[in-house]
Chains A and B, each alone.
Chain A
């Protein structure tokens, strides 16, 4: 595999862009023409070749730029990465999982050489080479969780498991859909999801928790979640909401295709071997409306989902004010023809737009 890393930004001039390959492999989250919460878990044991599901930790063209953005967020606000004292062992578990996975799945980019506890890690895209002693915190420049998640796309929640619950006791959170690790750290599964409308009443969280408590080593799971973001801004944090919220008001019928992004989270869940913690990576993929509608099936479907979404969900996901503008744009790409079941673009069987 050859992969060119983009030179791009997720702030200020927003030079972020998706190549044709990135558009083709975008994890479009809607398998039918409507959306409601569901647990929607499946095994995370590979997927179609070159899809975002293929590897345990997908590395794509945005890798280097995303890591630079993360470093900037952490410089501005170190509280985005926190680990309660009892979570250090889980941090080493996570470091091992990621280093082993990446060196096996991307040998051209990452190498891990182990001699007992003496480890040598090479990260070529970021130009990092470090010798360290596994499980010895003093041999790394950061704690183990922070060290490895500064080199891995996606946010990471490391969940302690006790009292039949999961506790948000450590995390690296810089690309979040408007929630605060600093506020939520130490909460249990129901508490940190407390602000989510409708899903508690539907029993979603009870069922999801039951599933997650039973995830076994070597049998990770995954699901998708989604929201909307104006501009390809990774750091849509509550901490900075007073700065970025205003950007939502800059949409016009002329710029919406380029500015409005569908934000998809590939959420995965891995049991960690020594700590019995659960790591919950939340990987964010952004795609502009104009790139989405380049796939006729996705254009038709996105119009229908946005149009029919319950008010509470549109409000919670933060786009209720912009929904009319979105529909003015998207409806141009919906000719009413039926769509095929499933998330894939199905270009070989999908008719082009009938105007």
Chain B
């Protein structure tokens, strides 16, 4: 099962819902990995959306591409990574007219980055639906060097840029699409507790 119930947390941490069909002139659906399953579930409940849907999908190491394509969206794109897909995503937001519905599903990193693009294009974040599926890994910003480390699934972890040992906070920036990582051994250099899987 690709769903996970997140425990209650602080007010800056995003919360996710289950995608609901909403009336719209066009439907932009962006997903990665197991996020495909949320789109498939949505299409099962509301097959009429797909004739007006543009699906942008980043499979990562999963195999849902054929099933998504079989939903017959008006436009279907599969990209090797978010950074490869982002210029297309920006273009779609630029061209979008009133009445576009936006559906995001998959990992927190994918949803956060796509939401941040949508906000920059002028969409209100509260009007965008998000459904978490799959990996619990987070996109982390090192507060010290500002470098982003993708797919962090353990706490603490080592910053992939500056090498500091960081603990994983729940404090989240929508603008950066990242959680905050803060040095864990600043007051006792070298004293780093064993790394544990998030939510384990």
A residues neighboring B (CB under 8 Å) = 79, 180, 182-187, 190-195, 200, 238-246, 248-249, 321
Does B22 sit at the interface, judged by CB under 8 A?
no
Q: How far is the CA of A200 from the CA of B8 in the complex (A)?
A: 13
Contact B11 A183 (CB under 8 A): no
Q: How far is the CA of A223 from the CA of B71 in the complex (A)?
A: 58
Contact B183 A242 (CB under 8 A): yes
Q: Which residues of A contact B11 (CB under 8 A)?
A: 190-191, 193-194, 200
Does B144 sit at the interface, judged by CB under 8 A?
yes
Q: Which residues of B contact A180 (CB under 8 A)?
A: 143, 180
Contact B188 A249 (CB under 8 A): yes
Q: How far is the CA of A200 from the CA of B10 in the complex (A)?
A: 9
Does B13 sit at the interface, judged by CB under 8 A?
yes
Nearest 6 A/B pairs, CB to CB: A245-B186, A194-B12, A194-B10, A242-B183, A194-B11, A191-B12
Q: Which residues of B contact A182 (CB under 8 A)?
A: 146
Does B60 sit at the interface, judged by CB under 8 A?
no
Known: A242-B186, A246-B189. A183 touches B176 (CB 8 A): yes
Known: A239-B143, A241-B182. A246 touches B12 (CB 8 A): no
Q: How far is the CA of A321 from the CA of B13 in the complex (A)?
A: 28
Pick out which of these stretches binds chain A: B61-69, B75-83, B85-93, B166-174: B166-174
Contact B175 A238 (CB under 8 A): no
Q: How far is the CA of A244 from the CA of B187 in the complex (A)?
A: 8
Task: Determine the residue in chain B with the shortest Cβ distance to A77.
Answer: B146
Q: Which residues of B contact A244 (CB under 8 A)?
A: 186
User: What number of residue pairs across chains A and B have CB atoms under 8 A from each other?
Assistant: 63
Q: How far is the CA of A338 from the CA of B146 in the complex (A)?
A: 50
The smallest beta-carbon distance between B95 and chain A, in angstroms, is 22
Contact B186 A183 (CB under 8 A): no
Contact B10 A183 (CB under 8 A): no
Q: Which residues of A contact B13 (CB under 8 A)?
A: 194
Known: A182-B146, A200-B11. A195 touches B169 (CB 8 A): yes
User: Among the listed B141, B175, B187, which residue makes an inter-chain contact with A248, where contact means beta carbons less than 8 Å apart?
Assistant: B187
Restricting to B153-175, which residues have a CB under 8 Å from any CB of A? 164, 169-171, 173-175
Q: Which residues of B contact A186 (CB under 8 A)?
A: 173-175
The smallest beta-carbon distance between B166 and chain A, in angstroms, is 9
Q: How far is the CA of A238 from the CA of B184 in the complex (A)?
A: 12
Task: Determine the residue in chain B with the shortest Cβ distance to A249.
Answer: B187
Q: How far is the CA of A193 from the CA of B176 in the complex (A)?
A: 17
Give 9 pairs: A residue, B residue, CB < 8 Å, sorted on A. Answer: A183-B143, A187-B173, A194-B10, A194-B12, A195-B171, A238-B143, A241-B183, A241-B186, A246-B186
Contact B10 A195 (CB under 8 A): yes
Task: Determine the residue in chain B with the shortest Cβ distance to A189.
Answer: B11
Q: Which residues of B contact A249 (CB under 8 A)?
A: 187-188
